[in-house]
């Protein structure tokens, strides 16, 4: 794709696209590690995967800004470049993995809320907000166990 700005421009765009592809592949691996940490209920691994995911997303965002700026300078849409297809497909996989991981986290949070409700004597599934949208405050204390 030797564009209107010449081979140097094309080389710069290809370099950015290559960096993006590597970072997206690393994000995919990080999401797989996050899923494994969720499956093993390993808080340290989960925290490490979350930190790695955040750093990768920041780097991907910066590289994408650079890619768009290069494309704008040349008056082209670099997303139409066939060399970009693998990265776009990988991004779609990352979205799916992240959604699955999010559902697992939401399910676990639901279980924790139910357990806390049972421990505190509230009805499981009870809302923290009343019908009028105001937060319910339960100031009563309850004996959890007696020896």
SS3 per-residue string spanning the chain: CCECCEHHHHHHHHHHHHHHHHHHHHHHHHHHHHHHHHHHCCHHHHHHHHHHHHHHHHHHHHHHHHHHHHHHHHCCCHHHCHHHHHHHHHHHHHHHHHHHHHHHHHHHHHHHHHHHHHHHCCCCCCCCECCCCCECCCCCCCCCCCC
- The reply to whether 138 falls in a domain is no
pLDDT recorded at residue 136: 65
Residue 134 within a domain: no
Instruction: Tell me if 131 is assigned to some domain.
Output: no
Average pLDDT value for residue range 129-147: 63
| 141: in domain | no
pLDDT in the model for residue 5: 59
90 assigned to some structural domain: yes
pLDDT of residue 1: 46
Q: Which of 11-15, 55-59, 75-79 has the lowest mean pLDDT?
A: 75-79
Amino acid 118: pLDDT: 82
As a whole-number percent, the residues of the chain with pLDDT over 70 amount to: 82
What is the pLDDT of the chain when averaged over all its residues?
84
Whether the model pTM is above 0.85? no
What CATH number has the domain bearing residue 55?
1.20.58
Domain with 95, as residue range(s), is: 7-120
- Span 105-121, pLDDT tens digits: 899 888 888 888 788 77
pLDDT higher at 125 or 10: 10
The number of distinct structural domains making up the chain is 1
Task: Write out pLDDT tens, residues 20-54.
Answer: 999 999 999 999 999 999 999 898 998 999 999 99
Examine residue 106 and state whether it is found in any structural domain, yes or no. yes
Residue 128 resides in a domain: no
Per the domain annotation, does 139 fall within a domain?
Answer: no
Q: Which of 15-29, 64-78, 125-139 has the lowest mean pLDDT?
A: 125-139
Query: Is residue 142 pLDDT above 90, yes or no?
Result: no
């Amino acid at each position: 794709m030797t564009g209107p700005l010449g081979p140097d421009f094309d080389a710069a765009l290809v370099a950015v696209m290559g960096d993006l592809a590597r970072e997206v592949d690393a994000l995919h691996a990080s999401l797989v590690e996050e899923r494994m940490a969720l499956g093993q209920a390993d808080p340290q691994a989960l925290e490490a995967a979350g930190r790695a995911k955040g750093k990768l997303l920041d780097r991907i965002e910066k590289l994408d800004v650079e890619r768009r700026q290069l494309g704008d300078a040349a008056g082209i849409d670099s997303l139409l470049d066939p060399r970009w297809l693998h990265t776009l497909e990988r991004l779609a996989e990352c979205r799916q993995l992240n959604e699955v991981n999010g559902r697992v986290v939401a399910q676990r949070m639901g279980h924790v809320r139910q357990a806390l409700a049972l421990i505190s004597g509230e009805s499981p599934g009870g809302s923290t907000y009343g019908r009028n949208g105001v937060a319910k405050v339960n100031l009563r204390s309850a004996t959890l166990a007696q020896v």
